[in-house]
Amino acid sequence: MKTTTTLILGMSTLLFLGLGSFDAPAADGEPFEAGMHIRAQLHSAPAELDFAADDGPDAAIEQAMEQMHRGGKAVRRALRKKQVDAALVAVSIAQQGVVEAKKLVPSAALELEGEARARLKADFRKRLIEVLEKWLQVEKLLIDGKMEQAATAMKEISVLEKSGHKEYEVED
């Protein structure tokens, strides 16, 4: 029963985030999973991001950050409902958004040259590494059943997000 509940919670989260779909109902006697197919919308390379080439790198970064934001909202929702398995699925979605964003270079860096460009690129990536480390901390805390501490770590992610947005003059 616990496995079925876990599967249902995980799939519900994926459906809610638009990352899953029902292709066909499960046939009688088949396991529940037989009627479910996950649509992989977690992007594995920047080329797969849904933006026009002339939109520039900031559009891809914005899309990756939106994925992190959606995952974060789902984690907070799951934490309020004490649904650890759903929170873990959403954490993975947020982490994937961070990984995608850190592969990219903001257009502000492309406008600079030499040492200034290198510093901005390094700072951008290091900030995202720090955010990813916090997401990994949240994941560990959830696995250990420390939901209150995970919620606190989520607040720290929000602080990092706000400071990064302020530094790079991004509107929230």
As a dihedral over the C-alpha atoms of residue 140, residue 146, residue 147, residue 153, rounded to 10 degrees, the angle is -60
The pLDDT assigned to 38 comes to: 30
Alpha-carbon gap, residue 99 to 169, rounded angstroms: 21
Long-range pairs for 107-113: beta carbons < 8 A, 24 or more residues apart = 107/56, 107/57, 107/58, 108/168, 110/57
Q: What is the pLDDT of residues 62-104, one digit of tens each?
A: 999 999 999 999 999 999 999 999 999 999 999 999 999 999 9
Residues of the chain with CATH 1.20.120.10: 53-172
The pLDDT assigned to 121 comes to: 93
Length of the chain: 172
Q: What is the pLDDT of residues 114-163, one digit of tens each?
A: 999 999 999 999 999 999 999 999 999 999 999 999 999 999 999 998 88
The pLDDT assigned to 162 comes to: 87
Alpha-carbon gap, residue 135 to 68, rounded angstroms: 10
Asked whether residue 34 carries a pLDDT value surpassing 80, the answer given is no
Check: CATH 1.20.810.10 for 53-172? no
* Paired residues of 21 in beta bridges: 37
The pLDDT assigned to 47 comes to: 37
Asked whether residue 41 carries a pLDDT value surpassing 80, the answer given is no
Asked whether residue 108 carries a pLDDT value surpassing 90, the answer given is no
